[in-house]
């Protein structure tokens, strides 16, 4: 058996290549949209990818099932509860798929979504103990999939949590302790609330350490898994629907068109979003008026999906040579409307100083001065609820970055505003988004809440 985990750090997303050397057949489970790594694996091992299995309709990324099917002729398969616009095979509960010696057993494990499945892997057809299980978003390392993402579709989180309890105890926890656990996500994903940095485990380790499978009643379980969830990015509903549909395929080799500064400004004035992917420090030093800063060093695509509208035309400003990567990472969440990129940004911005502005960033001392001197200061904390539970700067309004778009109207764009996050990366995103929305005096806090908290601790110690 050839078994590979392909892990994508920027989305905390895991996909899997499983091949049988005796037959030369392989399957890919939960592929990302840019499929070159799986094609490379198939070529390396001299295998054909015969099937793409999706454990569920993903909400946090646009899957590569259509791209893989087009490139290899592979069939696309889901659990039998899934309905798709494209041709797909329905996998029944208990069904066995043979790759040769390697066997895959399908188990229906609804709860995160109604159609969720897990894939139990047997290295040999007559093995009693499975090699492992691909749990999708049903069971994570240290957590379980959130059951609240479909509340807008008429399915309550309590109903799904009840199904999730049964799936965990009747299907996954019934596997032997030695069975390896391979989930679809790790720490940082918004598909759960307490995911481990580990990307694999065993059923036995999860039985001992995972709070969600500890002995408890179904009622207590429902309370435990529905409380304290983060606010998911707004694009989740868009991706969940797009993963069911026929859609254009990604050409991951194509680079966006190079545009002059005049062409970029022309597009911007017609409503195109200018997305500046440089580091916040570079962005603050000079950027095109009205552009949004989302640095590629962080969870770039996820943050973009939280503050940009799906389908909105986008022009990229990137460091030299990063334009194709910036385009492809947006495509991983289905944001395909990249018009082009600004050619030679340093020279282009220098040639049009009247179109360039700087960002206002304040340090902790500057924030303290603003708090004491500005009566109508608007202080905005854009961290997630789990982060703000540990404390906020007094007087701050809490709006998670993933909910900023929908709650901008609740803020007063005429007031002096300072926005902060944990360390100063997300706050640059929020401040640039607010500036685009017409906030005339907006700054972000260098070092974020961490810097403010450190300053308070130092002041207390000195006193």
Mean pLDDT, consecutive 10-residue stretches, the chain (463 aa), reads 96 97 98 98 98 97 98 98 97 98 98 96 96 97 89 78 97 98 89 84 97 95 88 88 97 97 97 97 96 93 93 96 97 97 96 96 97 96 91 96 93 98 96 97 97 88 66
pLDDT of residue 211: 94
Q: How many CA atoms lie within 13 A of 258 on its CB side?
A: 7
Q: What number of other Cβ atoms are within 10 A of residue 137's Cβ? A: 28
Assess if residue 253 is contained within a domain: no
Q: Is the dihedral of CA 448, 454, 458, 463 positive or negative?
A: positive
170-185 exposure pattern, b = at least 16 Cβ within 10 A, e = fewer = ebbeebeeebbbbbbb
Per DSSP, the three-state class of 387 is: helix
Residue 195 lies in a domain: yes
Other C-beta atoms lying within 10 Å of the C-beta of residue 463: 5
Q: Is residue 421 annotated as a catalytic residue, yes or no?
A: yes
298 and 291 Cβ atoms separated by less than 8 Å: no
- Beta pairing partners, 340: 315
The secondary structure element, H or E, covering residue 226 is helix 218-226
Could you give the angle at the alpha carbon of 184 between the alpha carbons of 180 and 188, nearest 5°? 115
Q: Residue 63 has what pLDDT?
A: 98
Q: What are residue 52's DSSP bridge partners?
A: 28, 76
Residue finishing a domain among 301, 325, 357: 357
> For residue 251, is it within any domain?
no
Residue 423 within any structural domain of the chain: yes
Q: How far apart are CA 410 and CA 433, in angstroms?
A: 15
CB environment 60-89: b (16+ within 10 A), e (fewer): bbbbbbbbbbebbebbbbbbbbbebeeebe
Q: Which of 404, 421, 434, 446 is catalytic?
A: 421
- Final residue before a domain boundary, out of 324, 357, 390: 357
252 part of a folded domain = no
What DSSP designation does 129 have?
A: S
Overall size of the chain counted in residues: 463
pLDDT in tens, 43-75: 999 999 999 999 999 999 999 999 999 999 999
For residue 250, being part of any structural domain is answered with no
Q: Burial, 187: exposed, middle or buried (Cβ in 10 Å; 0-12, 13-18, 19+)?
A: middle
Residues 351 and 367 in one domain: no
Same-domain status, 292 and 212: no
For residue 49 the two structure tokens come to: 């990818």
Which residues are CB-contacts of 249 (< 8 A; sequence separation ≥ 6)?
66, 67, 70
Can you give the residue range of the structural domain that contains 417? 360-462
Per-residue model confidence as pLDDT tens digits over 160-181: 999 999 999 999 999 999 999 9
Q: Is the domain of 276 the same as that of 303?
A: yes
Same domain for 327 and 426, yes or no, is: no
Which pLDDT does position 463 carry in this prediction?
Answer: 61
267 found inside a domain: yes
Answer whether 14's CB lies under 8 Å from 184's CB.
yes
pLDDT of residue 153: 67
Give the integer Cα–Cα distance in Å for 12 and 139.
15
Q: Are residues 149 and 272 in the same domain?
A: no
Residues 164 and 140 both lie in one domain:
yes
One domain, residues 50 and 164 = yes
Q: Give the number of domains in the chain.
A: 3
DSSP3 helix / strand / coil % (the chain, rounded to 5): 35, 20, 45
CATH label of the domain that carries residue 444: 3.40.250.10
Q: Which of 209, 242, 275 is the last residue of a domain?
A: 242
Query: Across-strand partners of 182?
Result: 134
Q: Are residues 22 and 137 in the same domain?
A: yes
């Amino acid at each position: 058996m050839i078994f590979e985990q392909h892990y994508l750090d920027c989305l905390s997303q895991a996909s899997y290549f499983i091949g049988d050397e005796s037959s030369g057949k392989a399957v890919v489970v939960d592929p990302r949209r840019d499929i070159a790594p799986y094609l490379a694996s198939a070529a390396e091992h001299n295998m054909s990818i015969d099937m793409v299995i999706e454990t569920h309709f993903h909400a946090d990324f646009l899957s590569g099932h259509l791209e893989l099917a087009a490139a290899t002729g592979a069939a696309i398969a889901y659990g039998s509860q899934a309905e798709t616009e494209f041709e797909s095979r329905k996998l029944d509960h208990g069904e066995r798929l043979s790759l040769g010696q390697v066997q895959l057993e399908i188990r229906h494990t609804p709860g995160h979504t109604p159609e969720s499945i897990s894939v139990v892997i047997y290295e040999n057809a007559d093995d009693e103990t499975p090699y492992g299980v691909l749990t999708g978003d049903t069971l994570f390392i240290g957590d379980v999939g959130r059951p609240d993402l479909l509340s807008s579709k008429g399915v309550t989180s309590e109903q799904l949590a009840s199904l999730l309890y049964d799936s965990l105890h009747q299907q996954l926890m019934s596997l032997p302790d030695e069975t390896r656990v391979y989930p679809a996500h790790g720490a940082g994903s918004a598909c759960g609330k307490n995911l481990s940095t580990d990307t694999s485990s065993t059923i036995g380790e999860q039985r001992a350490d995972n709070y969600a499978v500890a002995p408890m009643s179904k009622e207590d379980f429902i309370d435990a898994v529905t409380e304290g969830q983060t606010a998911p990015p707004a694009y989740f509903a868009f991706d969940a629907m797009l993963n069911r549909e026929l859609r254009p395929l990604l050409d991951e080799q194509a680079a966006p068109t190079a545009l002059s500064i005049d062409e970029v400004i022309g597009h911007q004035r017609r409503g195109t979003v200018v997305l500046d992917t440089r580091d916040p420090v570079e962005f603050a030093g000079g950027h095109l008026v009205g552009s949004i800063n989302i640095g590629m060093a962080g969870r770039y695509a996820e943050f973009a999906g939280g503050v940009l509208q799906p389908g909105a035309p986008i022009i990229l400003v990137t460091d030299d040579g990063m334009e194709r990567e910036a385009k492809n990472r947006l495509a991983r969440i289905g944001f395909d409307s990249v018009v082009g990129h600004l050619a030679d940004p340093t020279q282009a911005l220098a040639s049009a100083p009247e179109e360039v502005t700087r960002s206002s960033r304040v340090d902790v001392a500057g924030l303290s001065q603003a708090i004491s001197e500005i009566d109508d200061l608007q202080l905005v904390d854009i961290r997630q609820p789990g982060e703000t539970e540990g404390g906020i700067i007094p007087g701050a309004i809490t709006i998670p970055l993933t909910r900023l778009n929908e709650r901008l109207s609740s803020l007063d764009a005429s007031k002096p505003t300072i926005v902060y996050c944990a360390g100063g990366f997300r706050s640059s995103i929020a401040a640039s988004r607010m500036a685009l929305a017409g906030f005339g005096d907006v700054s972000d806090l260098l070092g974020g809440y961490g810097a403010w908290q450190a300053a308070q601790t130092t002041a207390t110690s000195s006193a």
